[in-house]
């Protein structure tokens, strides 16, 4: 598509994204800088008080800390399980690798509410774990597994794990096997080859997997609401609660604190996991 008229092609998608994506976010930010109002959506006076109230409040700081802690645990476990799985997938012949990746892609298409319901059925008072333990005579009273932060971690980790595996497996499968062969020919054992060659070369996949898992953890309101209890609320739950309470400027500020967290984590992960040179220091 060439020529000046080609710009007519891009106008509909560009206009739509500007009006329905960029525009609403700018408006939300504008509202976050205003005072609250009883009669209207937001007051007239400009203020940064909404942000100060969140970042200066021990309650919200504790929620932010808990959000980061839960996200860090989910990232850690999904990397620990996901990396060896991705390695396994990458070693398979091409056709079987595609079949396994398809099997990993399918659960991502199932709505998160359905997958969270699966965990409710497993962890609930009448769930699979409790009835099995009771039938085995190990417990008399059902264990309280659901409505805990642990349930949120397990549920979210398994819901997001395929993203980690697919990202890393794609990078590993596209690596030139001659790198590993060269390392082994030069006398490195399997462990040294992995630590000094394979792992550094796979950092782009690790970075994109970690980013996806982190960003999706931040906005996973439904999973947290279904599996977590009142004490496992994360920042996204606060955003939802303040919207349903019609505290518009406060809700808007919370949303942008959440976005700030997402951007900071993105910058940090991208900087920490820049693709490194395999040969290391001796350039």
**Of residues 114 and 281, the one with the C-beta less far from another protein:** 114
**Of residues 186 and 281, the one with the C-beta less far from another protein:** 186
Tell whether residue 139 is a contact of another protein (CB under 8 A): no
Contacts to another protein from residues 259-278, by CB under 8 A = 259, 262
Considering only 64, 79, 101, 156, the residue that binds another protein (CB under 8 A) is 101
Tell whether residue 231 is a contact of another protein (CB under 8 A): no
280: left (phi over 0), alpha (psi -120 to 50) or beta: left
In the Cβ-directed half-sphere of 75, how many Cα atoms lie within 13 Å?
Answer: 21
Considering only 219, 229, 247, 270, the residue that binds another protein (CB under 8 A) is 219
Find out whether 129 and 236 touch, Cβ atoms under 8 Å.
no
Which residues, listed in sequence order, are joined to residue 34 by a DSSP beta bridge? 46
Residue span binding another protein (CB under 8 A) among the ranges 45-53, 55-63, 78-86, 270-278: 78-86
The secondary structure of 156-174, three-state, reads HHHHHHHHHHHHHHHHHHC
CA distance 181 to 65: 44
Residue span binding another protein (CB under 8 A) among the ranges 45-53, 55-63, 220-228, 267-275: 220-228
First to last CA, the chain: 44
The number of angstroms, rounded, from the C-alpha of 27 to the middle of its chain's C-alpha atoms is 25
Residues 6+ apart with CB under 8 A from 48: 33
Tell whether residue 198 is a contact of another protein (CB under 8 A): no
Find out whether 183 and 198 touch, Cβ atoms under 8 Å.
no
Tell whether residue 31 is a contact of another protein (CB under 8 A): yes
Binding residues for another protein, rule CB under 8 A, total 92
Tell whether residue 245 is a contact of another protein (CB under 8 A): no
Tell whether residue 71 is a contact of another protein (CB under 8 A): no
Give 12: exposed, middle or buried? Use CB within 10 Å, 0-12, 13-18, 19+: exposed
Tell whether residue 23 is a contact of another protein (CB under 8 A): yes
Residue span binding another protein (CB under 8 A) among the ranges 47-55, 57-65, 66-74, 76-84: 76-84
**Of residues 38 and 111, the one with the C-beta less far from another protein:** 111
> Minimum distance from CB of 246 to another protein (Å)?
9
The tokens describing 228, both together, are: 């977590």
Considering only 71, 197, 258, 269, the residue that binds another protein (CB under 8 A) is 258
**Strands, E, within 170-216: which ranges?**
none
Contacts to another protein from residues 168-197, by CB under 8 A = 170, 177, 190, 194
**Of residues 149 and 227, the one with the C-beta less far from another protein:** 227
Find out whether 221 and 236 touch, Cβ atoms under 8 Å.
yes
Considering only 48, 52, 62, 128, the residue that binds another protein (CB under 8 A) is 128
Tell whether residue 226 is a contact of another protein (CB under 8 A): yes
Residues 6+ apart with CB under 8 A from 53: 250, 253
> Minimum distance from CB of 79 to another protein (Å)?
11
The tokens describing 87, both together, are: 């390695």
């Amino acid at each position: 598509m060439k020529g000046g008229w080609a710009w007519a092609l891009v106008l509909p998608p560009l206009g739509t994204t500007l009006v329905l994506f960029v525009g609403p976010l700018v408006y939300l930010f504008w509202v976050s800088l205003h005072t609250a109002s009883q009669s209207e959506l937001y007051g007239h006076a400009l203020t940064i008080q909404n942000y100060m109230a969140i970042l200066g409040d021990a309650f919200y700081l504790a929620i932010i800390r808990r959000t980061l802690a839960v996200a860090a645990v989910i990232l850690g476990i999904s990397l620990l399980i996901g990396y060896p799985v991705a390695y396994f997938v990458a070693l398979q012949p091409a056709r079987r690798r595609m079949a396994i990746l398809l099997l990993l892609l399918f659960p991502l298409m199932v709505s998160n509410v359905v997958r969270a319901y699966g965990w409710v059925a497993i962890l609930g008072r009448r769930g699979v774990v409790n009835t099995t333990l009771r039938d085995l005579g190990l417990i008399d009273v059902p264990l309280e597994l659901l409505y805990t932060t642990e349930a949120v971690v397990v549920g979210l980790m398994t819901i997001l794990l395929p993203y980690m595996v697919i990202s890393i497996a794609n990078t590993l499968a596209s690596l030139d096997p001659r790198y590993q062969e060269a390392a082994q020919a030069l006398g490195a054992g399997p462990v040294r080859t992995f630590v000094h060659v394979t792992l550094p070369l796979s950092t782009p996949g690790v970075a994109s997997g970690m980013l996806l898992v982190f960003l999706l953890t931040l906005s996973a309101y439904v999973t947290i609401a279904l599996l977590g209890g009142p004490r496992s609320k994360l920042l996204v739950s606060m955003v939802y609660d303040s919207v349903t309470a019609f505290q518009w400027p406060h809700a808007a500020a919370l949303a942008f604190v959440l976005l700030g967290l997402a951007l900071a984590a993105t910058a940090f992960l991208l900087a920490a996991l820049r693709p490194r040179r395999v040969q290391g220091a001796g350039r």
